[in-house]
């Protein structure tokens, strides 16, 4: 619980990001170093709340033992804090950087005061663990003779792989890209999650005996039917990668791209050549419009700014959120409030104002005679998303990035296996056992439930691993 009176004595203070003007010159991580005394003080704010909602259904999806490691950090017991953290979370170095922290939204202290800086403390614990060389390959139980194939190396696939290998099973992870990590590698830009951090964890998993096959596109150059025949179980962890498009007139214009096309090409070029090969969609000297908010929209903003865009605007269909919780958004629900993320702060620093424009709907992309994008026509909408007559406007644009979320998983794998899908296009599998309609084939996370958080993907990967182990062995010791 930290210090019994700490929540009365200390105010919330998060660890700062690097200065916006400085960090816009590179793709290095946003974060500054950890100050131990500062973190111990923030850990002291964790109160003896009785029922820690931070680790409840409304808080942390993997049920991190948050009050326990807050108290351990407050008392300077960092190694013990790391052990507590790893009990529930395979990859705290990922969640400590990219999770939106629903735990903080559900923090009991947050009813009356700013929540405990849980995310900062989590990130500091795992960073300290690597610095002290405390993080080792996870030991495995004796070999069971069972083999499992996992399709997809995002957070769900990686979590399941580590859990299953720890139970003694032979595990092979198949990734269609040229690097392991899925969304963690190519969906999240370097300034939020350095790829060396992903590769460091993947190497630990290799050292534990997990096999990774890259450039292995199951359903194209790898036969899924053969995978099912050759293994005792197959886990589908393919994510929800079918993006929501914007089918309005002019969509074929050259210069309109899905967000993941933009982000993936940028990261791949950055890793391959430091952007020297030119194999990416450049925003340099362009008027950029990002349609859609959320983390991916912010990542498009931050990447465009680092390219050196000429101007930048971010369209949001919904109205501007309130500064404080609305009456219909009580604690411990996730607070739907106005936030300034790293990309918004950078754009404000560079161009003098927040890039977001609210209550606006896109109507038509404009292009020249050579089909090059020149702009977009919009109309303002009211709170019911009804168009406001006379509010039409033309915006100049050379590059428009569509960041409106994801609809469902891609289907070329399950179609070859004859797997059932639901009305939303997700693989049919219950959270009780994660079994699909095909024997010995399981599905977890975004391909089963739809687009969601990295931390929920880790949770489902762990739970699916437990049920696979139970089915294969008759019982399980996995949490």
Mean pLDDT of the chain: 97
pLDDT in tens, 280-310: 999 999 999 999 989 999 999 999 999 999 9
Q: What angle do CA 29, 207, 68 make, to 5 degrees?
A: 60
**What integer pLDDT is reported at residue 258 of this predicted model?**
98
Range from 27-36, 49-58, 127-136 carrying the lowest mean pLDDT: 49-58
Cross-strand bridge partners of residue 402 = 258, 291
Checking if the pLDDT of 2 tops 80, the result is no
| Cβ-based neighbour number of residue 337 at 10 Å | 13
Q: Could you give the domains of the chain?
A: 6-131 (1.10.1060.10), 147-241+407-473 (3.50.50.60), 245-404 (3.50.50.60)
Residues ≥6 apart with Cβ < 8 Å to 57: none
Residues ≥6 apart with Cβ < 8 Å to 475: none
SS3 48: coil
According to DSSP, residue 108 is labeled: G
Token reading at 472: 């294969």
**What integer pLDDT is reported at residue 39 of this predicted model?**
97
CA–CA separation, 91 vs 87, rounded Å?
11
Please tell me whether the overall predicted TM-score, pTM, comes out greater than 0.85 for this model: yes
Q: Count CA atoms closer than 13 A to 427's CA, side-chain side.
A: 31
**What integer pLDDT is reported at residue 3 of this predicted model?**
86
Per-residue pLDDT band for 26 (boundaries 50, 70, 90) equals very high
pLDDT in tens, 38-59: 999 999 999 989 899 999 888 9
Residues ≥6 apart with Cβ < 8 Å to 256: 246, 250, 365, 373, 400, 402
Cross-strand bridge partners of residue 173 = 150, 212
């Amino acid at each position: 619980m930290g210090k019994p009176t700490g929540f009365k004595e200390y105010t919330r203070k998060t660890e700062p990001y690097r200065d916006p003007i400085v960090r816009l010159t590179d793709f290095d991580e946003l974060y500054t170093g950890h100050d131990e005394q500062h973190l111990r003080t923030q850990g002291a704010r964790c109160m003896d709340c009785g029922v820690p909602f931070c680790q409840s259904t409304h808080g942390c999806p993997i049920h991190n033992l948050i009050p326990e490691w807050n108290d351990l950090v407050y008392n300077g017991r960092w190694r013990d804090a790391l052990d507590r953290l790893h009990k529930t979370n395979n990859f705290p170095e990922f969640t400590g950087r990219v999770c939106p922290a629903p735990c903080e939204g559900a923090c009991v202290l947050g009813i009356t005061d700013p929540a405990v800086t849980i995310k900062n403390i989590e990130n500091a614990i795992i960073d300290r663990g690597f610095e002290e060389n405390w993080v080792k390959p996870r030991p495995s139980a004796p070999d069971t003779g069972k083999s499992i194939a996992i399709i997809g190396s995002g957070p769900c696939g990686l979590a399941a792989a580590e859990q299953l290998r720890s139970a003694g099973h032979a595990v092979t992870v198949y990734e269609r890209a040229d690097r392991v990590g899925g969304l963690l590698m190519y969906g999240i830009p370097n300034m939020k999650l350095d790829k060396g951090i992903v590769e460091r964890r993947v190497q630990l998993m290799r050292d534990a005996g997990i096999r990774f096959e890259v450039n292995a596109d199951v359903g194209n150059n790898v036969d899924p039917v053969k995978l099912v025949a050759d293994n005792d179980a197959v886990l589908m962890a393919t994510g929800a990668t079918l993006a929501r498009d914007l089918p309005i007139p002019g969509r074929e214009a050259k210069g309109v791209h899905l967000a993941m096309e933009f982000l993936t090409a940028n990261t791949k070029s950055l890793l391959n050549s430091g952007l020297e090969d030119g194999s990416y969609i450049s925003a340099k000297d362009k008027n950029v419009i990002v349609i859609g908010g959320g983390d991916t929209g912010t990542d498009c903003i931050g990447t465009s700014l680092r390219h050196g865009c000429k101007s930048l605007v971010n369209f949001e269909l919904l109205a501007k959120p309130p500064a404080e919780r609305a009456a219909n958004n009580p604690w411990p629900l996730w607070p739907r409030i106005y936030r300034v993320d790293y990309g918004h702060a950078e754009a404000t620093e560079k161009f003098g104002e927040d890039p977001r424009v609210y209550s606006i709907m896109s109507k038509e992309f404009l292009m020249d005679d050579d089909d090059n994008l020149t702009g977009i026509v919009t109309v303002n909408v009211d709170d019911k998303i009804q168009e406001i007559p006379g509010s039409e406007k033309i915006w100049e644009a050379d590059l428009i990035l569509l960041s409106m979320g994801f609809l469902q998983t891609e289907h070329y794998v399950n179609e070859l296996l004859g797997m059932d899908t639901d009305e939303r296009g997700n693989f049919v599998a219950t959270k009780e056992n994660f079994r699909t309609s095909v024997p010995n084939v399981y599905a977890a996370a975004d391909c089963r439930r739809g687009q969601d958080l990295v931390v929920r993907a880790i949770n489902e990967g762990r739970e699916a691993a437990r049920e696979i182990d139970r089915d294969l062995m008759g019982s399980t010791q996995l949490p």
